[in-house]
């Protein structure tokens, strides 16, 4: 009996303490928690812009799909933002505070997500897009996308997944490749895509971007 009383005496204040700490957090408390780091908090931060399941989001700018993306590609791009080989003021700010281990953990997380494609791309030239994706445009020196990005557009290692990517994002990247990627003198794998992006016309870019946006 005395033992039980001792237990009660010890546990009651603990229970009260626990209750006090579990009251709904104010924004400030949560910001303080976020400042301490933590993978979950950082993932929530990524998904605020890139969609709750990483499916991408249309803000003022298109935020690319990260779901199912190759971890090596995500990591390579985050490093490119930090080193300003890929110019993007928003993503520089986001990436430069990430520790190397956090960067790897984030990149790995998105591989496991598989939401439906964001959708919304025009469907008028999907057959042209499919042809470019599967066969390329030999007369214009455009290799088949599938040769490197895989027959289903899932990518591998540093070669990104294209399947389900936001139409507006892919169009934006292919039309402005050299303005954003491969900056500075450092070696960058993005150079591989530069001639291909250059050789595609605007309407061919739109066709292939629409096609890959619907790939699952």
Sign of the Cα torsion 106, 41, 85, 55 reads: positive
Q: Which is nearer to other proteins, 115 or 150 (CB)?
A: 115
Q: Among candidates 212, 112, 204, which has minimal Cα distance to 162?
A: 212
- Phi and psi, residue 59, nearest 5°: -95, -145
Q: Which is nearer to other proteins, 5 or 35 (CB)?
A: 35
CB of 58 to other proteins, least distance (A): 7
Encode 158-179: b = buried (16+ Cβ within 10 Å), e = exposed.
bbbbbbbbbbbbbbbbbeebee
Residue 128 gets the label, from left (phi > 0), alpha (psi -120 to 50) or beta, of alpha
Stretch that binds other proteins, among 42-50, 112-120, 152-160, 190-198 (CB under 8 A): 42-50
Q: Which is nearer to other proteins, 28 or 101 (CB)?
A: 28
Q: What is the DSSP letter of 55?
A: -
Residues 96 and 193 sit within 8 Å (Cβ to Cβ)? no
Under rule CB under 8 A, how many of the chain's residues touch other proteins? Answer: 27
* Cα separation, 56 vs 168, whole angstroms: 11
Q: Is 198 a binder of other proteins (CB under 8 A)?
A: no
Stretch that binds other proteins, among 28-36, 104-112, 125-133, 179-187 (CB under 8 A): 28-36
Q: Is 41 a binder of other proteins (CB under 8 A)?
A: yes
Q: Is 45 a binder of other proteins (CB under 8 A)?
A: yes
**DSSP-H helix ranges across the chain:** 2-22, 27-35, 39-50, 71-82, 89-95, 100-111, 126-135, 145-149, 167-175, 177-180, 194-199, 202-213
Q: Is 65 a binder of other proteins (CB under 8 A)?
A: no
Please state the length of the chain: 216
Beta strands in 61-177 (DSSP E): 62-63
Site for other proteins in 78-117 (CB under 8 A): 89-90, 93-94, 96-97
CB of 75 to other proteins, least distance (A): 17
Q: Which is nearer to other proteins, 79 or 131 (CB)?
A: 79
CB of 49 to other proteins, least distance (A): 6
Q: Please select the residue that binds other proteins; options are 20, 60, 99, 187, rule is CB under 8 A.
A: 60
Q: Which positions touch other proteins (CB under 8 A)? A: 24, 26-28, 30-31, 34-35, 41-42, 44-45, 48-49, 52, 57-61, 63, 89-90, 93-94, 96-97
């Amino acid at each position: 009996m005395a033992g039980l009383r001792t237990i009660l005496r010890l546990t009651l204040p603990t229970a009260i303490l626990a209750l006090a700490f579990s009251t709904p957090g104010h924004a400030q408390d949560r910001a303080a928690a976020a400042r301490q780091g933590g993978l979950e908090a950082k993932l929530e931060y990524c998904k605020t812009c890139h969609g709750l399941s990483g499916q991408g989001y249309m803000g003022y700018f298109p935020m690319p799909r990260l779901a199912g993306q190759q971890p090596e590609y995500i990591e390579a791009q985050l490093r490119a933002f930090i080193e300003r080989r890929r110019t993007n003021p928003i993503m520089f700010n986001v990436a430069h505070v990430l520790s190397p281990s956090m960067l790897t953990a984030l990149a790995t997380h998105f591989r496991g997500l598989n939401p439906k494609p964001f959708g919304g791309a025009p469907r008028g030239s999907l057959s042209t897009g499919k042809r470019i994706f599967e066969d390329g445009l030999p007369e214009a020196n455009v290799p088949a996308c599938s040769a490197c990005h895989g027959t289903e557009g899932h990518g591998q290692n540093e070669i990104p997944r294209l399947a389900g990517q936001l139409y507006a994002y892919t169009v934006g990247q292919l039309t402005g490749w050299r303005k954003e990627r491969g900056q500075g003198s450092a070696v960058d794998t993005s150079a591989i895509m530069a001639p291909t992006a250059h050789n595609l016309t605007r309407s061919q870019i739109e066709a292939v971007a629409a096609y890959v946006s619907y790939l699952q």
